[in-house]
Amino acid sequence: MTGLEWSDFKLEIPKNIHLETSEYRDTFIKINTAYKWGSGWNSQEAIIHYGSGRAAADAFYEEVYGKLRDAGFQLIPSDIEGSCPTLTDKKFGAEKMSLYLHPMEFTGYATQAQIDTITALLEECETVNFVQVIRNEPVYSLPDCQYREILQYNAKEIAQYAAEHYRPGWRCTGQAGFDFASEARLPRYGQGSAKSSDDVDIQTVNDICRYAKDFGYFIKLDKEKERRADEHER
């Protein structure tokens, strides 16, 4: 039982809700630098090419961050020690564009024009030797209240799906909500890739499963499943 159980589940949208696509896209830009997982800036590549990890880091920050600032972008330092800055765009409003600038990947939200500008700048950098856009997907401008309404509108189908794909003991453990979020959630602006039990879809799917159990709906679905199996064997 994994999130793949929900990979073919499709939400039906109520007629009173219009899904409006945001101009911002869910973005993941992969880059290759002297920074490596496990060793960070103290990688063998950094030592060979720059003499030290500190020198490699300084060269990257000076070149990449400098080009981004010169292009009109703004870097917002993190309040958390050891975390990377966030890239925003002063021309279009800092509250909209948001890319987390890890030295191996830039992730967050940006318009297509911003993505094109950033990748072009990165390809010019000597401290970056590989640039690839891994993810560039449209997202919806959909508030939590409307997303919850869509999920509740599909409550019967969600309960049926959970009954079909999970053993009775697994339906109300909270796993169904996380699996749904991994494979079937609607992509929304500002949502991010991290998942939390506070996410509206995880909460709502888990609530639907609990209600289905408490009010006997799962028992009804299991009996119908047994009846169909008996009829098939005959």
- Among candidate residues 140, 158, 182, the one where a domain is terminated: 140
In tens, the pLDDT along 186-220 reads 988 877 667 888 999 999 999 999 999 998 888 88
Considering the domain architecture, whether residues 103 and 212 belong to the same structural domain is answered as no
Which residue's structure tokens are 């449209």? 138
d(CA 69, CA 66): 5
- Domain holding 106: CATH number? 3.30.160
130 & 29 share domain = yes
Candidates 157, 139, 147; CA nearest to 204 is 147
Residues 180 and 87 in one domain: no
Residue 123 tokens, joined = 């390809």
Residues 11, 91, single domain; the answer is: no
Number of structural domains found in the chain: 2
Tell me: do 46 and 91 sit in the same domain: yes
pTM for this entry: 0.71
Residues of the chain with pLDDT > 90, as a percent, come to: 59
The span from the CA of 40 to the CA of 53, in Å, is 8
Is residue 182 domain-shared with residue 87, that is, in the same domain? no
pLDDT digits (tens, 9 = 90+) for 25-58: 989 999 999 999 999 999 999 999 999 999 999 9
Task: Give the pLDDT band of residue 69 (cuts 50, 70, 90).
Answer: very high
96, 125, 140 - which closes a domain: 140
Domain that holds residue 208: 3-19+142-233
Q: How confident is the model at residue 21 (pLDDT cuts 50, 70, 90)?
A: confident
- pLDDT tens digits, 93-151: 545 788 999 999 999 889 999 999 999 999 999 999 999 999 898 889 899 999 999 99
Same domain, 26 and 136: yes
- Same domain? For 51 and 114 the reply is yes
